[in-house]
Amino acid sequence: MTGAGEPPPPTAATCALPDAAYVAALAGFERMTSRRLRSLLASGSGRTAYRIASGAEVPRGLLATMLRSDDGLARDFREQARRRTPEACWEQCRQAGIEVLTTGDPRFPAQLLDDPACPPVLFARGDPCVLDARRVGIVGTRNATQRGRQTAARFGYELAEAGVVVVSGLARGVDGAAHRGALAAAGAPPVGVVGNGLDRAYPRQHAELWEAVAERGLLLSEWPPGTPPDAFRFPLRNRVLAALVEVLVVVESRERGGSLITAREALARQIEVMAVPGSLQTRAASGVNQLLRDGAAPATDTTDILVALGLDGRRAGRSRFDPRPLPRGLDADIVERCRRAPSSIEQLADGFDLTLGEAAMALARLERDGWLRETGGWFEALDAWEALA
């Protein structure tokens, strides 16, 4: 017989469980943090850590100090151990197709092992080996503009086509658009890092997107199945996302928000942060413009990101190299109009429904980049060799 406050004795089934099953159970304890879980696991195996948390084994050293200093924590852990058995947690993961990756597992992302805030366990759906490729994070506001979503989708598509893994958070807005773009390509698979258990998609409208990312690429979480998407988990998620990438691109962000938290986490790890310039009149661009003011590199085109990765292929083979940044959207339309016939600023403003100020800014950009030349008030398009003259 066991006392009412004691955990059940080990059974044959319990003894046959892998060590990761005990870590999975511990990761779901209320009041469990990465630091506390690392401290428990420093005592030895996951099984030993679970026995200490459950009160079946006496803690020693700093771990004993940690648990003695907070009687409520030790009591809560004992209560959680009665509710969260390793057998039940392991079976839950197995049925959901979720792998439990501890830091001793060869499939644990190597990019995180030396990180100062390395999570002691990750839950995965998909193939962790996709992280062996080159990796770019694309993040941004949930309240993205249409242009922001289009930019994220284009970056996602073109980076995946170039063999670069797109890492994002599967949130609404920019994140979801980046993943949809990457999935539309035939190249590198995407990676999603989320802030809840992998058994339930969040937000719900992204359920199909979650499944597609898991099937083609990889889903990662610090938390076991059944964990709700509590607000405090998302800043924690952001540090993992930042630590996994080589370059982080912020497409749109308000003056405060998760994207800027991810950017700070990346900068703290000396990971390059790039930002897409936005209109001063759009609140969704206030955060990215702040990043640019503080020294982030501008990302105006996928080529900018590939250059940051050292993957610029524009000089490859025998093709002529055009060093000018490619015009996109409105700028590309203006170049094409001026290629057909020289145009005045008034004609361009009327033709594209712009104010004279907006037309002047676009023309100034295109003159600076070598796509247009102004002669006597008329703007004409230039070929590459003419731009060098």
| Sign of CA pseudo-dihedral 168, 258, 207, 146 | negative
Give the strand pairing for 135-139 and 247-250: parallel
Tokens read off for 158 = 């073109």
Burial of 145 (0-12, 13-18, 19+ CB in 10 A): buried
Residues contacting residue 182 through CB under 8 Å, at least 6 positions apart: 156, 157, 159, 160, 166, 188, 189, 190
* CB count in 10 Å sphere of residue 82: 14
**Are 279 and 337 found together in one domain?**
no
Tokens read off for 374 = 């102004």
Residues contacting residue 112 through CB under 8 Å, at least 6 positions apart: 118, 119, 122, 240, 243, 244
In a domain, 117, yes or no: no
Q: What is the mean pLDDT of the chain?
A: 89
Over residues 121-153, the pLDDT tens digits come to 999 999 999 999 999 999 999 999 998 999 999
Over residues 158-185, the pLDDT tens digits come to 999 999 999 999 999 999 999 999 999 9
In a domain, 248, yes or no: yes
Helix (H, G, I), strand (E, B) or coil at 192: strand
**Are 70 and 190 found together in one domain?**
no
**Are 164 and 299 found together in one domain?**
yes
Range of the domain at 277: 122-309
In a domain, 320, yes or no: no
Give the strand pairing for 165-168 and 99-102: unpaired
Domain count along the chain: 3
**Are 378 and 295 found together in one domain?**
no
Confidence (pTM): 0.77
**Are 63 and 208 found together in one domain?**
no
Look up the CATH number of the domain holding residue 359.
1.10.10.10
Please check the confidence at residue 5 and state whether its pLDDT lies above 50: no
User: What single-letter DSSP state applies at residue 253?
Assistant: -
| pLDDT for the residue numbered 358 | 93
**Are 254 and 177 found together in one domain?**
yes
